[in-house]
Structures are given as C-alpha cells and as structure tokens.
Structure 1
Amino acid sequence: MSDLDPPDHGEAWDITVVSEPFTTGSEDVGIAVGRLQARAREQDWDLVVGLTELPLHDHEGRHLLVQTDPEQRTAVLSLPALGGLRMHSRARRAVRSLVSGMANPEADEGHRVALPPVRGRWRLLMGMVLANRPWLLVPGLKSALVAALATGAVATVNSTVWVLANSLSWWRLVVATIASIALVVAWLVIDGELWDRPEDDSPRSRHRSRLYNASTLLTLMTGVLICYVALYVVNLAWALFVLDPDLMGGYLNARLGYGDLFVLAWFVASAATVGGGLGSGLESDEAIRAAAYSKREEDRRERLAGDPNPGRSAR
C-alpha cells in the first residue's frame, strides 16, 4: 500500500499497515466490518480498509468481494474473491477505488459487491488455492521427494520395471499417475488431520467446510503434482544419462528406443511417488498445515488466545 496516492494530492496522508489475525466468525461480513470499525475508533483512524484471506459472506449466504460503509469510512475486501491471478495489482486498484470513494462519502452511498452464484464460487475457490501458495508444499515434502528420487533411481535400471513400463498402454499410465497423486494427497490429509468438519449442522457451517476442504484438496493436489513433474524430469534425465535402449533391448529381447525412456520415466515417477510419499515422514508440518484454511483458522485462534486484547480486528 506504500504506492497508494491519496485522492487529494494537496494533503499528506499517514498510512498505517497492520497485519493481525481476524478473530473467529469474521467470515460474516457484518462482524468483519464491525471489528474494523472498533479498531478504527480505538486507534483514531480516519479511514480503514481491511484485506482478508477469508471468504466473506453476508446473512443470505452470498459470497462477497467487498463491503463498504462510507459513513464510518470502513471497507473490507476479500482477497480470494479477486480470483488469485494478478491479485496484487487487482488489490491495489481496489484499495485505491475504496479509499477514493470513502474519502468523499457524499459521492459514495456504500456498496456491497456479491460474487455470481456459480462462476463466482469457482473464482473464489481458485483464489483460495492460490492464497494457499501450493508451491510452498515442496519444501514440506522434501523428505518424501528425496525418498522418491532414490526409489526412482534404483527402479530406472531394473529390468522388471522396464518390462512393466513397456507393457502398459497410455491410459494405464494416466490411471497410475492419477492414483499415485490421489494416494499421496489422501495420506497428507489423514496424517496432517487437515479435513475440516462443520461446527454445527447449519447449512452455512456445512458449506464453509465444503469450501475449505475443496481448497485444501486442490492445494495439495497442485503441490504434489509439482513434485511429480519434478520427479519425472529428474528420472528422465537420469535414464537418458545412464541407459542405452539398444543394450536394454538386447537384454530383454525387445526393440527399444529412446522414446521408451519417456514411458519408463513416466511409470517410474508414479511408482516412486507412492513409494517415496507414503514411506517417508514430513519435513515440515507447518508447510502442510498452511495448505488448509481450517488449520490456519486454528492457528489464528491460538494466537488470539494469548492476545491481551482479543476483541480487536485485523488483516
């Protein structure tokens, strides 16, 4: 927000940036705005814009992009609702627009921007997945990745693996890829206790859990897929370096070419993903927990439990 220009260039603005956990329940936009207003009064701020990674919703259950209260000069913006792509630039433009509108309350009667029911839900989900930064799962899976690389290096020079890879059709290889990634994702969810359960039987609570669980699964799938691709590339490079298809073909009494190395690396990547992923512990539980909105919510609650002023709002 340091590049935010005030609407009136003749005035100097003091901009304070605060990053804190929202207290529980702040997915409800009314609660979120109320807590921001309380913090503004506490700090004697003239204007406050809250940016949150939480998906906001109103009392009708609609997901929201933004809610403003020009009279109180307060606004809250849901970052995942921006869709994830070019989030920083979109957020800067949105904040400029909100500040300009609230700086001239007579020209802004306040507004609430709701997301489209279907397309907006997918946009929100994609924004939540990108907010989880699935590429950061790779360091958390480092031990599993190293184990998978070791497994793949040994399997690549195994004649039985060559025979199996050469006998598989392309659709079986696709099934093997999907199954290996799904098994590792399931293991991460179970081992990390990442599955969110509704707090009660209300439709809103069940919908929240479904949204959180969907974002967690997609985040984990993306992170594991990144590891899978890296594993495939390394296995392929290793196979191209150490193996001679003509020599292996003569040993197996089969006609093999360099194209078969791509198939071999594909099969080995699937087998090594399962063997390395399920047979190795996590390098960092925190990296895995960060993939789940529900776990980050637990972390926020733990932080607030030790906060001397738990009623304050934030981020």
Structure 2
Amino acid sequence: MNLLHVGLVADPASPTQMAHRIKDLDPPKGERHGGWDVEVVSEPFTTGSEDVDTALVRLGDQAHQHEWDLVVGLTELPLRDDDGRYLLVEADPHQRTAVLSLPALGGLRMQARTRRAVRTLVGGMADPTSEEEHRILLPRFGGRWRLLAGMVLANRPWLLVPGLKSALVAALATGAIATINSTVWLLAGSLSSWRLLVATIASVALVVAWLVIDGKLWDHPDDDSAEARERSRLYNISTLVTLTAGVLICYAALYVVNLLWALFVLDPSVMGGYLNTSLGYDDIFVLAWFVASAATVGGGLGSGLESDEAIRAAAYSKREEERRNRLAHQRNSDRRQSGRGPAGRRR
C-alpha cells in the first residue's frame, strides 16, 4: 500500500494552530492507502480574494509545489455558493482540493469537529469510488446563526479587556474614586432596580458604539452587489456581538473588583452616619452595581487612548483583522488615485 501525502494549508493564527493540533490524522478503517503523511503549511491562501474558486486554485498550486496527493485548506473565511447559501466545505474532487470554513463548525468543540471533517474530506478525496458530498451546505434555517456564532468565538471576545489596557486602567480608576464618593452613594441608593438595569444597558451600548466609531470598525460593502451587502451585514453583526460580549465581560469584572474594593475599605455604618441615613452591607452591592456602569463608560472613553490598530486587534480574529486592514488600504489607495489627473497631478 502506498503512503498518501496530504497537505493542510491554513490561514495564519488560529487556523494554523488548529492544523497542527489535528495533523496526526489516522485514515478510516478500510482505507486503501498504507497511511497518511500530513504536512502543515501556514499560508494566507484567502488573502485578497473571498472567492472560494480562487481559494481552490491557490490550494492546487500549493499541492503541485509540495508534491502532495491532495490538499485541504482551513480558513476563518465564511464561504458561500452562487445561490447565496453558506457552506461548510467546498471541494474539487478532480483536483483533489478542498477548503473548510472553520466558523461554519459553530465555534464549540472545534478540535474534534475539525478533525472529523478533515478526516472525512481526505478519505473521500482519496477514494475515487467515494460518494461523499463535495459541497456541504449549512442548514437554510439556523445555518447563518451557526456561522455567526463561529465567527464571534473566533474573534475571542474575552480578550477584549486585556487588549485595551488604557481602557481598563481608566475603568478601574473611575470605579475606585466613585466608590468612596458620598454623592455616588446617594445616587445609587435613590435608584430603583429597573433604573439600575437601564443604566447597565445604556453604559454597555454607549461603550460598544464608541468602540465602533472610534476604532472605525464598521464594515462597508466592497461594491453594490447583494453578496457584498450580505457579507458586510454578517461581519458587522459579528463585530457588534463580539464587542457586546467583551464589554459585558468587562462589566462583570468591574462589578466584582468594585464590590471587593468597597467591602474592604468601607464601613456602611460609618458612611450612613456621614450621610445621616441607615446603610447596610446590602447597599454596598447596589453601590457596586451603579459604579460598574459609571466605570464601564469611563473605560470606554479611555479606549480613545488606544490606537485603531490595538482596538481592531482586540476585537477581531487575525484573519478578520488582516481582511479589514487590506480593504482599508485599498480604499485609501483608490481615494488617492481618484484625486490625481492622468499625469499624476492633483486636480
């Protein structure tokens, strides 16, 4: 039995890490080949084009260059067919090339799901008699949300807080000062639960809006086509969900820190005597809630101290960050060219 040489070409960062985790693939039982020799190459094969056919051509070039029998590409790019349906897999069985969209796996149990999908792809392309589907569509109902969940998890919203160090320092400073302010105590005590909830929602929404505007995170269609508009909607929804999840994590962390700080430095009876009112430890929990809202807004304004690149790096996966940087560079080039005459002079 001959050894099957398999190439895994992965976009940089997370897809490359995933490829290295699953490179010890074993062939399915009954496989005709003696084994699989899997080689991983980190290559941005989807850069500059979001067309799946172009990606397959580039994978074919990689297979020829490395003398692989077949090749599978791993990308964080959402794939769509000509009818606008989202894809998990697109393959060219004749060229023995296939591309797998990692976000379409849903974002959970990624290593197991990716391993299973790649093993199925390789086994199907290696066996000419296989009846495996060469194009796997996501469900029409629910497929878009599964893809969106995968994109959000690929963006790793939990890394938003450490990625914005200036914002975090501003939020902690705001919370520390507000906790020992008597006026803040009076305001917190005067607010009902529903008003505190509104303050929470408003503060999170304000920070998300500020990050989108200040970091220029809103995606614009490349052209007027329906496909480009749908792609931009998908990216913008994933951005908003990513930022909202990240800010909510920040809010919860600030609440815990402010609560611990207040319990450590404050005595409700002393503060109550100063304010001529009766206060207990339950009021400290309400205070921490109110202060978390104020500190979240302060942290959002502090994000203005960060560069646009730092904000994008904290909000996007590496693949998405590179894509948006490329599009921004292309738009700037187009604007510069439109401002010049045929001889290169400005009009």
Q: Which residue of 2 aligns with 1:310?
A: none
| 1:115-166 Cα deviation digits (max 9, x unpaired) | 1223111111110000111122222211111111111111111111001001
Q: Which residue of 1 aligns with 2:231?
A: 208
**Where in structure 2 are the equivalents of 1:3-42 lying within 5 Å?**
3-7=24-28, 8=31, 11-21=34-44, 22-26=46-50, 28-42=51-65
Counterpart CA distance in 1 for 2:231 and 2:328 is: 20
Aligned residues: 303
Counterpart CA distance in 1 for 2:58 and 2:115 is: 22
* 1:101 aligned residue (99, 121, 124): 124
Residue 112 (structure 1) shift: 1.3
What is the RMSD computed on CA atoms of the aligned residues? Answer: 2.2
Counterpart CA distance in 1 for 2:86 and 2:320 is: 18
Q: Which residue of 2 aligns with 1:49?
A: 72
Asked if 1 retains the 8 angstrom alpha-carbon contact of 2:24 and 2:38, the reply is: no
| 1:220-272 Cα deviation digits (max 9, x unpaired) | 11111111111111000001111111222222222221111111001001011
Counterpart CA distance in 2 for 1:261 and 1:297 is: 46
Q: Which residue of 2 aligns with 1:231?
A: 254
Residue 294 (structure 1) shift: 5.2
Residue 283 (structure 1) shift: 4.6
Name the SS of the counterpart of 1:60 in structure 2: coil
Counterpart CA distance in 1 for 2:284 and 2:167 is: 24
| 1:272-315 Cα deviation digits (max 9, x unpaired) | 11123214544564442132465430446799xxxxxxxxxxxx
Give yes or no for the alignment of 1:184 onto 2:207.
yes
Counterpart CA distance in 1 for 2:220 and 2:155 is: 19
Counterpart CA distance in 2 for 1:122 and 1:34 is: 29
- When structure 1 is superposed on structure 2, of 95-104 and 32-41 the one drifting more is 32-41
Q: Which residue of 2 aligns with 1:275?
A: 298
Name the SS of the counterpart of 1:17 in structure 2: strand
Q: Which residue of 2 aligns with 1:87?
A: 110
Distance 1:68 1:276, change over 3 A: closer
List runs of 5+ in structure 2 lacking aligned partners: 1-21, 330-347
* 1:252 aligned residue (275, 287, 301): 275
Counterpart CA distance in 1 for 2:139 and 2:120 is: 21
* 1:297 aligned residue (308, 318, 323): 323
| 1:83-125 Cα deviation digits (max 9, x unpaired) | 1011121111111111111111212354211112231111111
**Where in structure 2 are the equivalents of 1:303-314 lying within 5 Å?**
none
Name the SS of the counterpart of 1:51 in structure 2: strand
Give yes or no for the alignment of 1:76 onto 2:99.
yes
Name the SS of the counterpart of 1:67 in structure 2: strand
Residue 173 (structure 1) shift: 1.0
TM-score in terms of structure 2 length: 0.81
TM-score in terms of structure 1 length: 0.89
Name the SS of the counterpart of 2:41 in structure 1: coil
Distance 1:198 1:10, change over 3 A: closer
Identical aligned pairs, as a percentage?
72
